Structure 1
Amino acid sequence: MARVVLSAFPMIDPETYREVLDEAVDEPVEIEVAELGSTENLIEAAGGADAVVTDINTPVTAEALDALGLRVVVRSAVGVDNIDVEAAAAKGVTVTRVPDYCTDEVATHSVSLLLSCLRSLKRYDDDVTDGGWNWEAGRPIRRVSASTVGFVSFGPIAQRAAEQLSGFGADLVAYDPFVEADEMAEFGVEKAAFDELFDRADHVGVYAPLTDATRGMVDADALDRLDEDSVVVNVSRGPVVDADALLDALEAGAIKGAGLDVLAEEPPEDDPLVGRDDTVVTPHAAWYSEEARDDLNRSGAADVAAVLNGEIPEGRVDPEADWL
């Protein structure tokens, strides 16, 4: 009998896993749900398991992989920054992810954050809530069609966001060393070097995965290249943006605002970026729709089934991939 341990994280739906695995796996499958959240909890809960379906808050370290005899680790999301992929490969453990379950949702959320900040919706709502009715509460606001929007990384989510933004008439530029200029041009986007993007863009959306190369890449120098009407949106991972540098830029009035679905620490404890009238913060919810959650769980379960059946899963992560 195969044993599968699911994180008790709310994104993960045990009933969907049971449905898919009962139908697709050639042997009986035992499914357990456990509170993970730490390497220690993972080792304790998943001893003897064939598969673990993990969440963003559980580090799947070399230590854990050495202690467990896993066949597959499923990251129930797009990113795998909490999993030691190289250590997994060395142990013969397959790592999978679900790269496209929420492409439309995250793209739409990123555009929503951008427009909310550009149109000063939070300031207007606060003013009306406090009894005001003042169009000047949101000043200054600039016309979207007169702006340039930059994309830090230009994978499927940023590409979808570019399609959505194309109707607003803004100029679009992107930095991504792994995407060629002609592919960007198909989305009406011009390829730019990293510093060039921040020099040219009025507003910047961050879509990069968290790796050693991207950690803190949007730093004080990059933010200094923006102007006082600029908005920074981050829907990737909190640490891709230097939080101290972003706070300094906001405090100094060097940029207009920030739309953040991710933070350096989640959930936040006394994060000074939360509660400001120039920031809109959402609880790492850009991925969410009912349809996306169903896709996430069915795809993850299908990957578990594939490995248990001796097949190559669709979401397998190549340990030698350039973006890791």
Structure 2
Amino acid sequence: MDQRPVAVYAALDDDLGPGIATLEAAGFRVVVAGSDEPSDLAAAAPEAVALLVGYGRVDDAVLRALPALRVISLMSQGHDNVDLAACTRADVQVAHLPPVATEEVAVHAWALSLALVRQLPFYGRATAATWLDRPRFAPRRLSDLTVGVVGTGRIAERYAALARGHVGSLLSWSRSGRSLPGTASLADLHDLAATSDVVSLHLPLSGETHHLVDDAFLAAMKPGSWLVNVGRGGLVDSAALARALDSGHLAGAALDVLDEEPPSPGHPLAGRDDVLLTPHVGWFSAESERGYAVEQAANVVAWLRTGAVTHPVS
């Protein structure tokens, strides 16, 4: 009988090969369930001590389905999909990733910002029949613009560094009051919204930040400005953003994350000409894909060898 500890993968669409190799080399038997459903996880690996998960919900139902579970390893830095209180009650450690894709996400956010400022989504649709068409909001001169950065973590700092020297001015805001190098720190979030031509969101999702961008925030934004979100979809009230776009108050938005992924056909931000959507790929590169898989597995290996994960969720 195989006595190796069992690690089970939930629904993950990425290349699991490097992670599986890391786990097997450490002595695990690896099962790929390919599902976030508790019943599927229980059927695939009822004896699993480790669960490797992407964005699937981890709650009491999952913990009951895997009674031997002792460690959960996420494939992101965010952990809003995990019921941490339930895991604490069940004596299950939760690990997240170190900053594997800081550069990728910051570059993605900056690329989205430039695409909005230069109205690339509009011009990218131009054909011979519409060659001379012009967008409702003309492209802007980058050096005349003010960019507001919401959040002051590693990705926000890298984004600000990319923008520095190219834009007219840089503003920042954080809940902690920390300022970003080379930016003017504002104490009031709505003041940042009111004075920025581009607002870029770089915050984790929590009870405090859920729907941070609501009707009031959007009303405070400058007419003809743009919103960029590479943080978490729940930071933005999608219905409120759709209303701000419908009214013509905002020039557009670029989003790598949504409150519903993938968006349903009736999602208020799907299929709009004034919204540039990318499918949660800001983190993605050849280097980061391997790094994510290996680091996720490494947390589980550390638990097996030492009894504690390397990057615990605090």
Q: TM (normalized to structure 2)?
A: 0.92
Tell me the equivalent position of 1:196: 191
Partner residue of 2:140? 142
Q: What amino acid does structure 2 have at the position aligned with 1:134?
A: L
Which structure 2 residues correspond to residues 305-316 of structure 1 after superposition, within 5 A?
305-316=301-312
Look up the match of 1:275: 271
Aligned to 1:11: 14
Name the SS of the counterpart of 2:111 in structure 1. Answer: helix
What is the CA-CA distance between 1:136 and the residue it aligns to? 3.0
* d(CA) in 1 for partners of 2:169, 2:38: 45
1:224-239 matched pairs, under 5 angstroms: 224-239=219-234
1:108-153 deviation per Cα after TM superposition (whole angstroms, max 9, x unaligned):
11111111111111111212x3533227346422222222211222
Q: State whether residues 6 and 12 of structure 1, in contact with CA within 8 Å, keep that contact through their aligned partners in structure 2.
A: no
- Asked if structure 2 preserves the Cα contact closer than 8 Å seen for 1:71 and 1:307, the reply is no
**Aligned runs of 1:59-74 on 2, under 5 Å?**
59-68=57-66, 69-74=68-73
Contact 1:66 1:91 in 2 (8 A): no
Equivalent-residue separation in structure 2 for 1:170 and 1:65 (angstroms): 51
Partner of 1:81: 80
Q: Which residue matches 1:321? A: none
Native 8 Å contact 2:238 2:268 kept in 1: no
* Secondary structure, aligned partner of 1:227: coil
Give ranges in structure 1 of 5+ residues lacking alignment.
Answer: 319-324
CA distance in 2, matches of 1:107, 1:170: 19
Q: Which moved more, 1:206-215 or 1:288-297?
A: 206-215
User: Paired residue for 2:207, among 212, 220, 244?
Assistant: 212
2:12 partner SS: coil
Q: Deviations over 1:187-216 (max 9, x none)?
A: 434243222221222211112111111111
User: Do the aligned residues in 2 keep the contact of 1:262 with 1:282 (CA within 8 Å)?
Assistant: yes
Task: Report if the CA contact (8 A) 1:76-1:300 is conserved.
Answer: yes
- State the shift of 1:276 in Å: 1.7
Gaps of 5+ in 2: none
TM-score by length of structure 1 reads 0.89
Q: Find out whether 1:253 has 2:248 as its counterpart.
A: yes
Equivalent pair of 2:194/2:222 in contact (CA under 8 Å): no
Percent identical residues: 33
- Contact between 2:105 and 2:282, CA under 8 Å: does it hold in 1? yes
Q: Residue 230 of structure 2 contacts residue 282 of structure 2 at CA under 8 Å; is this kept in 1?
A: yes
Measure, in 2, the Cα distance between the counterparts of 1:228 and 1:180.
28
**Secondary structure of 1:210's aligned partner:** coil
Aligned AA (1:290): A
Deviation at 1:8, TM superposition (A): 4.1
1:46 and 1:52 in contact (8 A); partners too: no
Structure 1 pair 18–273 and aligned structure 2 pair: CA distance change class (3 A):
closer
Inter-partner Cα distance in structure 1 for 2:104 and 2:74: 18
1:15-54 paired onto structure 2 within 5 Å = 15-23=17-25, 25=26, 28-54=27-53
